[in-house]
């Protein structure tokens, strides 16, 4: 597919989510007044608000939604951005891998890509229309993130995260250990926190044991743990990927971005990887749950979230691999719209990352049953409006 192909995205009317758990407003803590429970949803600002917000008159004249109407979908939720959303393929690369399940970007513009089906991890540079391999490792990883020192953290089959020196390629034990749990997803924030999705040993499904998101400081000390909601129900079934609004600080384009500390978890629910996105406040309250658009999220073709990323404007983007979709969400986890990548010639989008210039990398995977000679595509996308 040649560069320069673009597509316009049309906003959908009506409340975008399909069937989901109802949100109890009193369980949501206010962003502005942390000790206050929320009582309304401001549709104008796309956020939950508390009685103190109302008394300050900040939301005077705004469209305020009550809990019953919000959960029953009786209102039209407005997108956060008013400008038209656009996506355009800037560059396309052919890799030496069959799948690109994970991507991490270094400050020099080189990237690490992983094919978990074949236990391959490569450090590559981008050259014209292909990738050039710097380092190739035969190892299976489940999560990857770039540190502030420009090294790579990965999760493996051990309880302790591994660190890869991007200069020498040497793999060593890191200081981050979630023993007796096994780590899966990993995310590094702008304030040097490391967020890890972990679970008890044993089969992934049906869910048994603990399913946890752990937050650690730079020294490996545990700061917080998210496992149950206020009703002592498990928050997650299988935390597969994580992002947050305290994003990884690797390139100057992200320095001035706002950081509200919300955590977004791709949570797989079953062996078919049907899933959802769970939005948590820093205090562990559920701010939202996204389960996909009802017109594309069907029993036959369920929402299968695979990659998740925070944009500099604090929107959330999620890839839906089997449906070839790209979901765009507000920072509350409410859907703005989705885009069908087949319209751009992109199939089976999986992993996501921001480039050093602020564009979006999309790593794709081969169709099931494809021959071993099939090479995965990596796309760089220009975007605007979100």
What are the chain's domains? Answer: 11-78 (3.30.160), 81-384 (2.120.10.30)
Residue 123: which residues within 8 A CB-CB, separation 6 or more? 110, 111, 112, 133, 134, 135, 136, 166, 169
Residues 328, 335, 274, CA angle at the centre, nearest 5°? 85
Identify which of 113, 106, 116 has the alpha carbon closest to the alpha carbon of residue 166: 106
Residue 253 has pLDDT above 70, yes or no: no
The CA distance from 211 to 228, in Å, is 9
Q: Cβ–Cβ contacts within 10 Å for residue 183, how many?
A: 29
Query: Is the pLDDT at 76 greater than 60, yes or no?
Result: no
Contact 267, 238 (CB under 8 A): yes
Question: What's the token pair of residue 108?
Answer: 């020099």
At 281-315, the pLDDT tens digits run: 888 888 888 988 777 778 888 999 999 999 888 88
Dihedral-angle region of residue 273 (phi above 0 means left; psi in -120 to 50 means alpha; beta otherwise): left
Read off the DSSP letter of residue 341: G
The predicted pLDDT at position 294 comes to 73
pTM for the full model? Answer: 0.77
Q: What is the pLDDT of residue 229?
A: 87
Of 382, 229, 374, 248, the C-alpha closest to 308 is: 248
**230 burial type by CB count under 10 A (0-12 exposed, 13-18 middle, 19+ buried):** exposed
254 and 244 in contact (C-beta within 8 Å)?
A: no
Taking CA atoms, 373 is separated from 112, 367, 369, 370, in Å, by 21, 12, 11, 8
Tell me how far apart the alpha carbons of residues 134 and 142 are, in angstroms, rounded to a whole number.
21
Question: What's the pLDDT tens digit per position in 120-159?
Answer: 999 999 999 999 999 999 999 999 999 988 999 999 999 9
Q: Is the pLDDT of residue 100 over 80?
A: yes
Tokens found for residue 200: 């008890």
- Contact of 43 with 78, CB cutoff 8 Å: yes
Q: What's the burial of 142, exposed, middle or buried (CB within 10 Å: 0-12/13-18/19+)?
A: buried
Contacts of 166-170 spanning 24+ positions with Cβ under 8 A = 166/106, 166/110, 166/123, 169/123, 169/135, 169/137
Q: Which of 325, 313, 333, 298 is nearest to 19 (CA)?
A: 298
Q: What share of the chain is helix, strand, coil (3-state, %, to 5)?
A: 5, 40, 55
Residues facing residue 152 across a β-bridge: 146, 164
Q: Which residue has the tokens 């990993």?
A: 186
Angstrom CA distances, 42 to 188, 312, 385, stand at 31, 22, 21
| Span 91-98, average pLDDT | 96
pLDDT at residue 4 tops 50:
no
User: What tens digit of pLDDT does each residue of 204-225 get?
Assistant: 888 889 999 999 999 999 999 9
C-beta of residue 308 within 8 angstroms of C-beta of residue 332: no
């Amino acid at each position: 597919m040649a560069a320069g192909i673009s597509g316009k995205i049309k906003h959908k009317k009506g409340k975008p989510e399909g069937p989901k758990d109802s949100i109890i407003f009193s369980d949501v803590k206010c962003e502005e007044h942390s000790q206050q429970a929320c009582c309304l949803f401001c549709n104008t600002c796309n956020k939950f608000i508390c009685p103190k917000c109302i008394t300050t008159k900040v939301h005077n004249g705004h469209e305020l939604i009550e809990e019953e109407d919000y959960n029953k979908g009786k209102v039209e939720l407005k997108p956060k951005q008013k400008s038209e959303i656009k996506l355009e393929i800037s560059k396309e690369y052919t890799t030496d891998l069959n799948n690109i399940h994970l991507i991490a970007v270094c400050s020099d513009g080189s990237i690490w890509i992983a094919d978990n089906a074949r236990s391959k991890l490569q450090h590559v540079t981008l050259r014209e229309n292909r990738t050039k391999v710097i380092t190739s490792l035969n190892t299976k990883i489940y999560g990857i993130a770039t540190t502030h020192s420009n090294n790579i953290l990965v999760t493996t089959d051990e309880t302790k995260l591994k660190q890869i020196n991007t200069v020498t390629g040497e793999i060593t034990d890191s200081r981050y250990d979630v023993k007796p749990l096994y780590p899966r997803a990993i995310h590094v924030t702008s304030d040097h926190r490391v967020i890890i999705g972990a679970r008890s040993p044993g089969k992934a499904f049906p869910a048994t044991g603990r399913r946890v998101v752990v937050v650690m400081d730079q020294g490996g000390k545990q700061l917080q743990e998210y496992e149950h909601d206020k009703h002592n129900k498990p928050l997650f079934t299988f935390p597969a990927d994580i992002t947050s609004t305290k994003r990884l600080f690797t390139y100057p384009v992200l320095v001035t971005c706002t950081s509200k500390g919300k955590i977004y978890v791709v949570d797989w629910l079953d062996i078919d990887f049907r899933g959802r996105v769970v939005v948590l406040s820093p205090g562990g309250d559920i701010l939202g749950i996204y389960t996909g658009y009802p017109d594309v999220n069907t029993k036959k073709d369920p929402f299968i979230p695979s990659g998740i990323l925070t944009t500099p404007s604090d929107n959330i983007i999620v890839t839906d691999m089997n449906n070839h979709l790209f979901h765009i969400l507000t920072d509350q986890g409410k859907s703005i719209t989705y885009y069908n990548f087949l319209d751009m010639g992109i199939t089976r989008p999986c992993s996501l990352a921001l480039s050093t210039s602020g564009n979006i990398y999309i790593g794709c995977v081969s169709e099931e049953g494809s021959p071993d000679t099939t090479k995965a595509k990596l796309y760089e996308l220009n975007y605007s409006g979100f």
